[in-house]
Amino acid sequence: MVLGLSLSTFTLLHVILSLAGIGSGFVVVYGLLNSKRLDGWTAIFLITTALTSLTGFLFPFEGFKPAYVLGALSLLVLAMASFARYSRSLAGGWRSTYVITAAFALYFNCFVAVVQAFMKVPALHALAPTGSEPPFAVAQVVVLAIFIWLTYRAARRFLVVPARTT
């Protein structure tokens, strides 16, 4: 049991949070590419992605796992993205900081999604049963290349437009 939930229910909650973070993250990146703030989507992305990392620490693993490093890095970049977005209002260099850290947070979630896909999807698992085979490496390099390109484009295109006050 984790947080009073069976392990399978907790895992489902973790997966739902992760998918919500990934989905809302892509909406946010679309907004960045089109110079749109998308404040509501951004809040959903930052919260669900942080909750994904936080719940990842609660699984009953023994010993130190690389997932802990990735979770900590994700929380660090999410804190930086939130600070740039909400405390510094995207002023000056904080605009680029926000775009880069938000994109990194989404990349980390997608990196883990690829890892999980190779572990859980039988056809992918057959291609890379240990996660060290070329098909796995190629998939991760492709995902990384896509995120480098998206981050570069978003950083160049996202212009800070003040939020409307009503």
pTM of the model as a whole = 0.91
Confidence of residue 63 (pLDDT cuts 50, 70, 90): confident
Looking at the predicted structure, is the pLDDT value of residue 65 above 90?
A: no
Determine the pLDDT at residue 160: 66
Q: What are phi and psi of 129, to 5 degrees?
A: -65, -25
Question: d(Cα 90, Cα 94) in Å, to the nearest integer?
Answer: 5
| Whole-number percent of the chain with pLDDT over 70 | 96
Listed in sequence order, the DSSP H helices in the chain are 7-33, 39-56, 66-82, 94-120, 122-127, 134-157
On whether the CB atoms of residues 96 and 102 are closer than 8 A, the answer is: no
Tokens of 85: 């977005």
Tokens of 8: 């399978």
Determine the pLDDT at residue 60: 87
* pLDDT mean over 99-113: 97
Q: What are the boundaries of each domain within the chain?
A: 7-157
* pLDDT mean over 96-105: 97
| Cα first-last separation, the chain | 46
Confidence of residue 7 (pLDDT cuts 50, 70, 90): very high
Confidence of residue 76 (pLDDT cuts 50, 70, 90): very high
113-163: pLDDT as tens digits: 999 999 999 999 999 999 999 999 999 999 999 999 999 999 999 986 666
CA distances from 149 to 64, 133, 154 (A): 32, 25, 9
Question: d(Cα 80, Cα 94) in Å, to the nearest integer?
Answer: 9
Average per-residue pLDDT for the chain: 94
Determine the pLDDT at residue 164: 62
Determine the pLDDT at residue 161: 63
Looking at the predicted structure, is the pLDDT value of residue 4 above 90?
A: no
On whether the CB atoms of residues 4 and 15 are closer than 8 A, the answer is: no
Sign of CA dihedral 87, 89, 91, 95: positive
